[in-house]
């Protein structure tokens, strides 16, 4: 699957989630996808930088070959394995910090997150990042659930054109 060229780099800790965040039965398949994208063995090193374009190619391959649900599950696992997601006891606080986390884990990459709390347990998150919608949907759910709620629901607002809008309930 062809993806548009995206400038910038992503930290290895985020790339490693592709291996850590999937069931062991899929790890060798994921390892091959990373190799095919140029992120070759050894496994991604947490403090090394990798081309974001290569990582996005892997995510798009997962979505094309395995399905949207698999990509959502990888996104959902991301906060559990990433340092930026820990330390918040309220979903709103963690979701509000997404742009800072994005900037900490990417360099020279386009995009950001906007956050607006719409009620006591709801928020709207706007993304202009190059990540696939299914991955971001999972990442938002995982972030809210890691930050003090037992269950979160994420819905995509399909009406936006140049950004992706998510409604998050917890």
Catalogue all structural domains in the chain, each as residue range(s) with its CATH number.
9-81 (no CATH), 88-169 (3.90.1520.10)
Distance linking the first and last C-alpha atoms of the chain: 34
Percent of the chain whose pLDDT exceeds 70: 90
HSE-CB for 32 with a 13 A CA cutoff: 7
Which pLDDT score, from 0 to 100, does residue 162 have?
83
The tens digit of pLDDT for each residue in 106-158 reads 999 999 999 999 999 999 999 999 999 999 999 999 999 998 899 999 999 97
What is the secondary structure of 98-164 as a DSSP string?
HHHHHHHHEES----EEEEEEETTEEEEEE-SSS-HHHHHHHHHHHHHHTT-S--EEEEETT-SSSE
Which of the residue ranges 7-16, 20-29, 31-40, 129-138 has the most confident prediction, judged by mean pLDDT?
A: 129-138
pTM beyond 0.85: the answer is: yes
Helix (H) or strand (E) holding 3: none
Question: Distances from the Cα of 90 to the Cαs of 31, 74, 168, in angstroms?
Answer: 34, 22, 13
Please list, in sequence order, all residues whose beta carbon lies within 8 angstroms of the beta carbon of residue 28, skipping any fewer than 6 positions away: none
Which pLDDT score, from 0 to 100, does residue 33 have?
82
Which pLDDT score, from 0 to 100, does residue 119 have?
96
The tens digit of pLDDT for each residue in 35-49 reads 888 887 677 888 899
Percent of the chain whose pLDDT exceeds 90: 56
Q: What mean pLDDT, rounded, does the chain reach?
A: 87
Which one-letter DSSP state was computed for residue 84? Answer: G
């Amino acid at each position: 699957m062809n993806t548009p060229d995206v400038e910038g780099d992503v930290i290895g800790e985020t790339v490693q989630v592709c291996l850590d965040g999937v069931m062991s039965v899929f790890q060798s398949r994921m390892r091959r996808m990373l190799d095919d994208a140029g992120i070759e063995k050894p496994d991604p090193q947490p403090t090394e930088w990798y081309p974001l374009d290569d990582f996005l190619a892997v995510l798009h391959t997962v979505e094309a070959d395995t399905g949207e649900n698999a990509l959502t599950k990888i996104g959902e696992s991301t906060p559990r394995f990433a340092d930026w997601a820990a330390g918040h006891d309220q979903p709103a606080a963690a979701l509000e910090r997404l742009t800072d986390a994005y900037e900490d884990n990417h360099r020279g990459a386009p995009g950001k997150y906007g956050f607006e709390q719409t009620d006591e347990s709801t928020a709207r998150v706007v993304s202009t990042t190059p990540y696939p919608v299914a991955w971001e949907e999972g990442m938002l759910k995982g972030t809210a659930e890691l930050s003090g709620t037992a269950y979160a629901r994420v819905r995509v607002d399909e009406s936006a054109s140049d950004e992706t809008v998510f409604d998050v309930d917890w």
